[in-house]
Amino acid sequence: MTVLLFGGSSQIGHYLLPLLAARDEPVVALSREARASVPGVTWLNGHLPDGVPAIEDVSAIFSMGPLQRFVSWLNQAALLHAPRVIAFSSMSAESKRASEVPAERDLSQLLRDSEAALAEACARHGSAWTVLRPTLVYGAGLDKSLTPIAHRAMRLRVFPLPAGQGMRQPVHAQDLARAALAALDNPVAAGRILAIGGGERLTAGEMFARVRASLPVDTLPLPLPAWLLRMARRGVGKLRGPLSRLEADLIADNTEMTRLLGIQPRPFRPDAECWGRRLG
């Protein structure tokens, strides 16, 4: 039997692939780019939703990419053995539900609709499923939130520090990989949508300060006071959503996830390796 992976080159996949390769079942990972296979992992070229090669005897499927595309493939796939399905969504499904930015409300609705569609598709296949909703993800230098900020600060030697008081709960990608594997091994997680955040809650301002402290180069701190952020929020349309969220709590309740999976995510203590590469 085979474990099929979508998003193996993602930040969560970076940590999940070695964990899966160490198990007994062969692993097949899909990528748009040619990648060399390694012991325990076979890479195939393909893409979601309509460019996936036929793979027989699949026992489990992990999805760490766009949920809507995965569900589109799942609806049309021929799966003979009712494989276990573990898919990642996002806490944006809840945190952006009441956003003042229409595009963010649309994203929230799309995520929730995709989660419901995944449950329906799995029911047709007879497959048990689990959806994980992470908060802000970091750890492999592949995220599109904190890593670009870190790289820009290293390049410019200046680190903006907005005065946000909204609570944050960054979660390390390795902890998410461990949670995905635990969901595979724990039948009690079937049919659940589980929120998962890091092991520590801190203000947005403190989160940015810790990112700055983790950098391998010195940067000049550039405090951005609340009054300036309010002006930018009113005057620059594309900043309206990100700046409004600085005062909003973007957190997760880990209680149910920890009870079912036994995972205790780490606190937010980033180091230079979390940002993937060093800029001189």
Q: What does the pLDDT look like over 46-56, one tens digit per residue? A: 999 999 998 88
State the pLDDT confidence band at 100, using cuts at 50, 70 and 90. confident
Output the pTM of the full model. 0.93
Residues 121-150: pLDDT tens digits?
Answer: 999 999 999 999 999 999 999 999 999 999
The single residue listed with the structure tokens 């499927």 is: 61
Q: Which of 189-193, 224-228, 273-277 is the least confident region?
A: 224-228
Do residues 213 and 272 make contact, with C-beta atoms less than 8 angstroms apart? no
The single residue listed with the structure tokens 């907005």 is: 162
State the pLDDT confidence band at 113, using cuts at 50, 70 and 90. very high
**What integer is the mean pLDDT of 257-278?**
92
CATH annotation of 2-140+170-199+251-274: 3.40.50.720
Do residues 146 and 159 make contact, with C-beta atoms less than 8 angstroms apart? no
What's the CA gap between 232 and 20, in Å, rounded? 46
